[in-house]
Structure 1
Amino acid sequence: MTTSTDALPRKRVHLAAHFPGVNNTTVWADPRSGSQIDFASFVHLARTAERGRFDFFFLAEGLRLRELKGRIHDLDVVGRPESLTVLAALAAVTGRLGLAGTVNATFNEPYELARRLATLDHLSEGRAAWNVVTSSDAFTGENFRRGGYLDRADRYTRAAEFVRVSRELWDSWAPGDLVADQESGHFVRHGDVGAVRHDGPHFTVEGHFNVPRAPQGHPVIIQAGDSDEGREFAASTADVIFSRHGTLEEGRAFYTDVKRRLSRYGRERHELKIMPAATFALGDTDEEAAEHAAEIRRLQVSPQTAIAFLEQIWGRDMSAYDPDGPLPDVEPEQEGGVSQGRVQVADRAAVAAKWRAVAEEKNLTIRQLVIEMTGRQSFVGSPATVARRIDEFVQADAADGFILVPHLTPGGLDDFVDRVVPLLQERGVFRADYEGTTLRDHLGLAVPRSLPEAAPAATSGDAPRLVPEAVPTAVRAAVPAAVPEGES
């Protein structure tokens, strides 16, 4: 006897919003495209995500301007503000949305970053997340240290120790409350502050952490690595994986592999959320959406961008070739390259052979080939089609949800929130309103095991505050109020 999947409990869909980055995802030629530096752009996208009851807002990070053939790559680099600074500002203009920032564990130190993340968790009243990334890129490393880079074999061991030290610092404050002395107006800590003594291969830390225990205890940890060592690091350490597997089959294979690793670390399947990056194109009909998606891809891959992609694969200057002409009959360089600051292609000969076979089979020009091979919208269709497909992925254990990457800054998420989210809510797989106050509440994650159980979540509009009501008026007046809705 078989059981219909309709009779099984339906998994909840998790959604997050990625602010479009400095690459060819964003269609800058569209007249609706705005600044990615102006704070108003961050506010617009974040508030749209919060209006859609998304779990979190996600910022990537670039630590050096990318170069092509020794020059700044002006096709996709226009600057990137520092993530945690932007998120701290967004904490004042949002109330429930999680705030996730990418910060490199190779080029930072645990004590300072643990302070910044704990501070963000306090400012946002429990909504902070850290996307832990690593780098063995000497080009980027030149901005940070003599010798430029950390050996590839050491990057995850350093990251694992980095997270471990950060958690030791966050846990060094015993549970307690900040209360105000009425006479002096100073805060008094009710609870012990323990000393941290860590001596490991990468870090030696000894002293007392100077930020009280944050509302979540530990900010949510996100990880984006896809290698075997990256998957193992995520299974042992992360709360969320930001993956890149876009098809149902690839997603299910990745989901199964990572979830099975959790038991090695005494973890349950629900303790790690897998959320691939996803793009989308909507239309009133599936046919209209397909036409829209094709136009987006054409705009994302300009003639110059097509040649740049080809140069990255072939590892040589290809500027003499016509992007609207055939693929040239030249072999890729095996060593070196013309781009800096990008992930290098591991086996250029194999990738070039695959691209050549597709070009010959479909009779594609260079630009058409790049459009074909560099990805397409993950979800294309009417709002009903896109809602159904997202639900199918989650119910089939190909993902726990998606981190949506719109192609427009900052209004690219508006249609999705207005037209797709209500259909997911009607299907009973997406929240109608926030049910808690912290990002851990949104993701269904327990407080870290080193912490006591959290008090019941406050009702909407009555979140717990770092500054208690007993604080004298003169002290409370120094704490800025949240900016009213509609202002920036």
Structure 2
Amino acid sequence: MSKPVKQIHLAAHFPGVNNTTVWSDPASGSHIDFASFVHFAQTAERGKFDFLFLAEGLRLREQGGRIYDLDVVGRPDTFTVLAALAAVTERLGLTGTINSTFNEPYEVARQFASLDHLSDGRAAWNVVTSWDAFTGENFRRGGFLAEDQRYSRAESFLAAAHTLFDSWSGDEIVADKESGQFLTTGSPGQFSYRDEHFDISGRLDVPRSPQGRPVIFQAGDSDHGREFAARAADAIFSRHGTLAEGQAFYADVKGRLDKYGRRPEELLILPAATFVLGDTDAEAADIAHQVRLAQVSPATAIKFLEQLWNRDLSDHDPDGPLPTVDPIVGENTIARGRASVRMHRDPVAVANEWRAKAEAEKLSTRELIIEVTGRQNFIGSPSTVAEQINTLVQADASDGFILVPHVTPAGLDPFVDKVVPLLQERGVFRAEYTGTTLREHLGLAAATERVTP
């Protein structure tokens, strides 16, 4: 029996915390003006995408004691942006990254229930943790949690939020016109949740929303993160987008579902991916090369180098070989901020891997940084990119992709105009929305059918 053809899921990531935006491009616009968010969201909806995705930065990143000048400076509040976008879109899902380390379950559950109501069932929550005290300085709790404690708190946080979301389920509310009162058959919104992290009880003041609960995303890649996703998430924002790595990650995470009584289709794997289009594959490759040169200037290459070496390398020649000295092991004092550095458990080992690669391929420092900091790319003509995406999805390397354009806000337009129609012609991507909620777009069961983790 032949394997059924999978339908591709597509989403759009509005770049905020990133190193992919090409600021020098004349088409590059604001990352904070609401008009940019509107253009981006409406383009994604025109392309029948599942959802728009917002990352989160809770503090401006720093390097060498100065605000990190290679990144977006400023990030509007996630809930504010998504609530506003709910008014200018009709079907597009609205996914926000909200931290479980520095927030409280009642507050977050109330906000997501409100967003789900405002959007008629299109809300999703990307549950993340944070470890660094630098970000934690903005909050009372600070950044003191070890990895296992962060995920323990995240799991408790999500279970508590689910208790709140479910606190209205089963309670029928009837308006009595004679008395002018609302009568209920139960105790709507009443909740109680206690464990090692939380001791809360009260009454949620937002009725059960259209989806019951928002769609839950998870973005961690550690073993704890994968287990958390298998137990409690509806989708994973993954970084494994190539064929071999994607298939390995896909098999590993979906292989964990059975012990939680879940089926493979209940958890979607959606890697992030950039794309560059051209009229021909050769033209696209040339454009992609220029894009990477713009993304990793000589100064940027040195910044990336300092993040691993954990030392001032401002005098290093970006067109020369890698430093001969080893990285300084221990607390990173050069770069500060949750997403400011690529975290490496063994910086010296990584440095040696980079040296071996640079020597074997005869790469300068800048050329090496361009190679090792690139994420999954789709590069080619529209037909080539459509084929690349479909091949990976049908091969179970992913269930779709979250696309990250290098120009904001109009960078998504060429993909929607040129690639989406080809996927629709193949019958692997929707021509029209058939549902109204994000759960329906993603093929997920109603929240009432899920068991609270």
Same structural fold, with TM-score higher than 0.5 when normalized by the shorter chain? yes
The answer on whether the counterparts of 2:164 and 2:189 sit within 8 Å (CA) in structure 1 is no
CA distance in 1: counterparts of 2:136 and 2:331, whole angstroms: 18
The answer on whether the counterparts of 2:135 and 2:143 sit within 8 Å (CA) in structure 1 is yes
User: What's the CA shift for 1:377?
Assistant: 5.1
Per-residue CA deviations over 1:340-394 (Å, capped at 9, x if unaligned) read 1134321111110111112112222211111111115521111001111101111
Mapped pair 1:345 → 2:344:
yes
Helix, strand or coil for the counterpart of 2:252? Answer: helix
CA distance in 1: counterparts of 2:363 and 2:232, whole angstroms: 44
Given candidates 90, 101, 110, the residue that maps to 2:105 is: 110
Change (3 A) 1:161 1:318: same
What is the RMSD computed on CA atoms of the aligned residues? 1.8
Given candidates 212, 216, 226, the residue that maps to 1:217 is: 212
User: What's the CA shift for 1:22?
Assistant: 3.3
Structure 2: which amino acid aligns with 1:287? A
Paired residues, number: 447
Deviates more, 1:130-139 or 1:20-29: 20-29
Change (3 A) 1:127 1:396: same
Aligned-pair identity in percent equals: 66
Helix, strand or coil for the counterpart of 2:313? Answer: coil
Per-residue CA deviations over 1:131-166 (Å, capped at 9, x if unaligned) read 000011111111112554223220001000111011
Helix, strand or coil for the counterpart of 1:172? Answer: helix
Helix, strand or coil for the counterpart of 1:305? Answer: helix
The answer on whether the counterparts of 1:195 and 1:208 sit within 8 Å (CA) in structure 2 is yes
Map of 2:265 onto structure 1: 270
Structure 2: which amino acid aligns with 1:430? F
User: What's the CA shift for 1:433?
Assistant: 0.4
The answer on whether the counterparts of 2:98 and 2:127 sit within 8 Å (CA) in structure 1 is yes
Map of 1:458 onto structure 2: none
Structure 2: which amino acid aligns with 1:435? T
Mapped pair 1:384 → 2:383:
yes
Mapped pair 1:44 → 2:39:
yes
* Correspondences of 1:389-408 after superposition (within 5 Å): 389-408=388-407
Structure 1: which amino acid aligns with 2:366? R
Map of 1:370 onto structure 2: 369
Per-residue CA deviations over 1:47-87 (Å, capped at 9, x if unaligned) read 00000000000000001111111221122141101111100
Given candidates 275, 283, 289, the residue that maps to 1:280 is: 275
CA distance in 2: counterparts of 1:166 and 1:83, whole angstroms: 18
Deviates more, 1:208-217 or 1:75-84: 75-84
Helix, strand or coil for the counterpart of 1:31? Answer: coil
CA distance in 1: counterparts of 2:185 and 2:328, whole angstroms: 64
Given candidates 313, 318, 324, the residue that maps to 2:319 is: 324
The answer on whether the counterparts of 2:102 and 2:141 sit within 8 Å (CA) in structure 1 is no
When normalised by structure 2's length, the TM-score is: 0.95
The answer on whether the counterparts of 1:327 and 1:356 sit within 8 Å (CA) in structure 2 is yes
Given candidates 6, 12, 17, the residue that maps to 1:11 is: 6
Helix, strand or coil for the counterpart of 1:353? Answer: helix
Helix, strand or coil for the counterpart of 1:276? Answer: strand
Map of 2:89 onto structure 1: 94
The answer on whether the counterparts of 1:312 and 1:345 sit within 8 Å (CA) in structure 2 is no
Change (3 A) 1:158 1:292: same
CA distance in 1: counterparts of 2:370 and 2:176, whole angstroms: 64
Helix, strand or coil for the counterpart of 1:222? Answer: strand
The answer on whether the counterparts of 2:242 and 2:376 sit within 8 Å (CA) in structure 1 is no
CA distance in 2: counterparts of 1:236 and 1:332, whole angstroms: 37
Map of 1:469 onto structure 2: none
Per-residue CA deviations over 1:176-227 (Å, capped at 9, x if unaligned) read 6666666898776676415312110100111111110000001000000100
Deviates more, 1:141-150 or 1:237-246: 141-150
Change (3 A) 1:159 1:388: same
User: What's the CA shift for 1:326?
Assistant: 2.5
CA distance in 2: counterparts of 1:58 and 1:177, whole angstroms: 34
The answer on whether the counterparts of 1:22 and 1:79 sit within 8 Å (CA) in structure 2 is no
Map of 1:165 onto structure 2: 160
- The runs of 5 or more residues in structure 2 that have no matched partner are none
Deviates more, 1:157-166 or 1:17-26: 17-26
The answer on whether the counterparts of 1:178 and 1:188 sit within 8 Å (CA) in structure 2 is yes
CA distance in 2: counterparts of 1:107 and 1:195, whole angstroms: 24
- The runs of 5 or more residues in structure 1 that have no matched partner are 453-488
Per-residue CA deviations over 1:433-453 (Å, capped at 9, x if unaligned) read 00010000000001124589x
The answer on whether the counterparts of 2:212 and 2:448 sit within 8 Å (CA) in structure 1 is no
Map of 1:483 onto structure 2: none
CA distance in 2: counterparts of 1:372 and 1:387, whole angstroms: 24
Deviates more, 1:368-377 or 1:250-259: 368-377
